[in-house]
Structure 1
Amino acid sequence: MSSFASPQPLPFGLRSSSLGAKFFIITMLALVMSLSGFFVESLTTERANNHGLLAASSESSTAQDANQPKTVFGIRLADSYRSTRRSLHYITLFLGFVFLTYFLFEVLSGRRAHPAQYAMVGIAQIIFYLLLLSLAEHIGFDLSFLIAGAATVSLFALNTEWVFQSRKLAYRALAVFSALYGFIYVLLRVEAYALLVGAIASFCAIAAAMYITRNVDWYGAGAPAPAVAGGAIPPSPQVRDSWLE
């Protein structure tokens, strides 16, 4: 038998006994990794200043000057930097949605994902912002978001198949993450209603997560023991209860 055989799903009771702790860990991981947004934001400001612009969020007359630096498509660099900085305001929401999606895949599929795999997903999300910034300097924000987003979504879909050994989940991931990136883009473009749209979407997302996990025994104590003929005590399954292994 190959030593690289995919792990079998854990029994529901055993698997769920550690889900509560894992959910807390990945929530903290998302919050910690969102701090990297400050680094990308400072880099954006530095790049803006290097091109002779004020801070990317400035609305001064300098940013309105027709002679300011532009991209190869004639898009003002100040607009690209400003949009990139605005996108960083949603990095915590972005990471939270991505991690929540992976967590729900884990609950529904019965397969485990190590916290290190969540961390790599978070790193890929951070690199998305670096791609967005570097491309926006040359081709503008809109096209950069499309290219960087498509690359990141494709990577997430492939990673879902690698982690959960399921092509069906990979297609679901492709659809979910495509919708998520599309939603973030729309959020950036409806500036006047961004807070309202973001709040409603966040509420709907957590409501969906509550519904999907409604039958999860978070303590792992509610799963009845399987019946065995003759009243014998069934042997303990040879699986580990910890999601760290």
Structure 2
Amino acid sequence: MSSFVTPPPPLKSNIVRTFSLGGKFFIILMLALVMSISGFFIESLTTERASIHGVQQASESAPAQPERLFGVELADSYRAIHRSLHYITLFLGLVFLTYFLFEVMTGRSVHPAQYALVGVAQTIFYLLLLSFAEHLGFDLSFLIAGGCTVGLFAINTHWLFHSRKLGMRALGVFTLLYAFIYVLLRVEAYALLVGAVASFFAVAAAMYVTRNVDWYGEGAPVAAATAAGGRDSWLD
């Protein structure tokens, strides 16, 4: 009698795909929450810098103060940065969601470490914003810091997905995202309304883009979408 034992069949790739879609989605959510903790450290740094330059209160409710540095109203800049930090979790979540949708629709896997690097880049954006705002004012500083970060994200998308076309589309998506955050910070009276409505449409867009994705891993997402709708993915 032969002692040879037939090895068990290898796990199907769809099981790995199921984990990468389902499990990774929750990992990304947790990563966004954890990395948003960095906002507390940046907020403390903002308060410290405000104290150094003689601005007693760098908060949203603080009255306008005459302290200036190189002609820049520091109180206004510090208040704007504090307000931007209030939305750091939403901002990180939208950035991660964009990368996740790219990953799902292209079928390429992105390691969670890459998401962590994107989160670090987003945190550095706030440091750039703070450092430039002390000399150039909030508006111009947001343009410079946001432009650098958006460009980095677009190039990183090209590197991760090996697609120049997708990198250009990422440039457009992240430009709109940063423009939305800027508008959200400048319309103080309607900030809650604008943020809530925009978040609703962002979730609705994510639902629409992933409507044909096989979350259980029984088929490739792009192939399932093509078979169901008879069209290629919008990322092709």
Q: Contact 1:71–1:140 at 8 Å: present in 2 too? A: no
Cα distance, 1:29 vs structure 2:
0.2
Equivalents in 1 of 2:190, 2:60: separation in Å?
21
Kindly provide the amino acid, as one letter, of the partner of residue 55 in structure 2. Answer: L
- Counterpart of 2:69 in structure 1 is 71
Cα distance, 1:221 vs structure 2:
3.6
Kindly provide the amino acid, as one letter, of the partner of residue 29 in structure 2. Answer: T
User: Relative to structure 1, is the Cα distance of residues 48 and 109 closer, same or farther in structure 2, using a 3 angstrom cutoff?
Assistant: same
Match of 1:51 among 47, 50, 53: 53
Cα distance, 1:13 vs structure 2:
7.6
By percentage of residues, which structure has more helix?
2
Cα distance, 1:168 vs structure 2:
0.9
Moved more, 77-86 or 51-60: 51-60
Equivalents in 2 of 1:112, 1:22: separation in Å?
10
Q: CA RMSD in A?
A: 1.8
Q: Which structure's relative contact order is higher, taking Cα pairs within 8 Å and 6+ residues apart?
A: 1
Q: Contact 2:155–2:167 at 8 Å: present in 1 too? A: yes
- Percent sequence identity is 71
Q: Contact 2:20–2:109 at 8 Å: present in 1 too? A: no
- Counterpart of 2:80 in structure 1 is 83
Equivalents in 1 of 2:15, 2:117: separation in Å?
28
> 1:162 and 2:159 equivalent?
yes
Equivalents in 2 of 1:41, 1:177: separation in Å?
24
Match of 2:127 among 103, 112, 130: 130
Aligned pair count reads 209
Kindly provide the amino acid, as one letter, of the partner of residue 82 in structure 1. Answer: R
Q: Which runs of 5+ in 2 are unaligned?
A: 1-11, 221-236
> 1:20 and 2:34 equivalent?
no
TM-score when normalising by structure 2 = 0.84
Question: Which deviations, in whole Å up to 9, do the C-alpha atoms of 1:35-67 show, x marking residues without a partner?
Answer: 11000001000110111111201655xx5343x
> 1:194 and 2:191 equivalent?
yes
Moved over 4 A (4+): 10-14
**Secondary structure of 2:109's match?**
coil
**Secondary structure of 1:217's match?**
coil
Kindly provide the amino acid, as one letter, of the partner of residue 204 in structure 2. Answer: A
> 1:145 and 2:142 equivalent?
yes
- Counterpart of 1:39 in structure 2 is 41
TM-score when normalising by structure 1 = 0.81
Q: Which runs of 5+ in 1 are unaligned?
A: 1-9, 224-245
Equivalents in 1 of 2:117, 2:59: separation in Å?
30
Kindly provide the amino acid, as one letter, of the partner of residue 68 in structure 2. Answer: K
Kindly provide the amino acid, as one letter, of the partner of residue 165 in structure 2. Answer: K
Equivalents in 1 of 2:101, 2:187: separation in Å?
29
